[in-house]
Amino acid sequence: MELRGCSLGYDLREETVAVAGIDVQVKPGELVVLLGKFGSGKSTALHGVLGEVALSEGSLGMSGAAAFCSQQPWIFNDTLRGNILFGQPFEEEWYCSVLQACSLAADLKQLPQGDRTEIGERGVTLSGGQKQRVALARAVYRNTPLVLLDDVFSALDAHTARRVLHALLAPGGLLRQKAVLLASHSAACAELADKVILLGCL
């Protein structure tokens, strides 16, 4: 995946550019962190990769499928397992690995029917951190070559965030062979990065 000299905006008719002149290249097995404060264009860059933001100049190259996890987790009215599979075939070994890496295994023991528990519209029966980890597990379970993560650790407590970060992105982590683009405002997320790109002023 590569963004080269890209300028992106949500409404180019008004000639407003949210992020300008961004260069990002992410290769398989590479973790690239976009680091910046709120409003610096991190999310816009990710949405640009997904084709959801207009490209006013520059070029975008991407091959293969991508999985995306937003900083505002989307949960639908289904079981916890249904939310993670999201129509994908059930592969027990991979599924269990994803649950473990996203720190959901312990949560299942607290739910009345484990992962078959209905979690309700918008995840009303889950905490904010649980909803984020379910949404993250959905993105990981898809097992795509490219994974886009938009500030996904900010809703987690520090201990859980560090545990999930390492389970997914440390050497040997579930996503370590993927091309991963992670947007974050936390310098702690950059510890494991192969490349860090600063957006705006920190």
Which residue did the predictor score with more confidence, 151 or 187?
151
Per-residue pLDDT of 30-66, as tens digits, reads 999 999 887 777 888 898 888 888 787 878 887 789 9
Domain positions in the chain? 28-40+64-198
Which residue did the predictor score with more confidence, 119 or 152?
152
Q: How many CB atoms lie within 10 A of CB 5?
A: 11
**Helix, strand or coil for residue 85?**
helix
pLDDT for 4 equals 85
Distance CA(45)–CA(8), nearest Å, equals 7
Tell me which CATH code domain 28-40+64-198 carries. Answer: 3.40.50.300
What number is the average pLDDT over the span 167-190? Answer: 92
Per-residue pLDDT of 120-159, as tens digits, reads 766 677 889 999 999 999 999 999 999 999 999 988 999 9
Q: At what angle do helices 92-101 and 158-169 cross, to 10 degrees?
A: 140
At 101, phi and psi to the nearest 5? Answer: -65, -35
pLDDT for 202 equals 47
Q: What does pTM read for this prediction?
A: 0.90
The one-letter amino acid code at 15 reads E
| Token pair 């993105």: residue | 139
**Helix, strand or coil for residue 69?**
strand
